[in-house]
Amino acid sequence: MKILIAFECSGRTREAFAKIKGNTVTSVDLEKSEISCSKYAQHWQTDIRDALSFNGDDEGPWDLMIAYVPCDHLAVSGARWFEEKRADGRQQAAIKLFMEIVNYPVKKICVENPIGIMSTLYRKPDQIIQPWQFGRGETKPTCLWLKNLPKLQPTDVVEGREHLVHRMAPGPNRKKDRSRTYQGIADAMTDQWGTSQNNDSAPKDPVK
């Protein structure tokens, strides 16, 4: 499959999908990739809108898109700044980008975001997952909006319900560290959606 990982510089999801024979994977982000690209992977350091056209009538070159849409102006964790962000247009720009991505003409899409305003402005997510369902004993409720993909099933439910992301110390890399994908979730996406054979099945019971 040809897979696009939008808004990722860590390379975790890109390289997980690239391990499956037959996949070619491209990540796109304004930041350079934090790790080297493997044989069947590449990274484009650019704005997603410079790399893609949102006006196509067909499904374009991609079979699957995983999109970690920027949440700075959408997540409820920043609600105290919403009035300011609405006034200066930042929130409307973020909403527009989210909707462009979720409506991009790719057959299979997963759009990821924390709990935020898009659950009301767009629709409720298909599921909300937690790191502790995928081998990491932390809480970080994460919404997934899915198109033609089954719900992501837990792979390793572990003890621990610490909200460590919220407690990260201030610093120049705090934003990037808070948004970095957990490896267990990237691996689950790969195992469950990473081939054309294993992601066409009917959705299973929702993850609670």
Give the other-Cβ count within 10 Å of 191's Cβ: 15
- What are the sequence ranges of the domains in the chain? 2-191
Give the other-Cβ count within 10 Å of 174's Cβ: 12
- Give the pLDDT band (50/70/90) at residue 192: very high
Contact present, 54 and 4 (Cβ < 8 Å): no
Whether CATH 3.40.50.150 fits 2-191: yes
The pLDDT assigned to 171 comes to 59
Least confident of 42-51, 91-100, 110-119: 42-51
pTM over the 0.75 mark: yes
pLDDT over 60 at 175, yes or no: no
The pLDDT assigned to 169 comes to 53
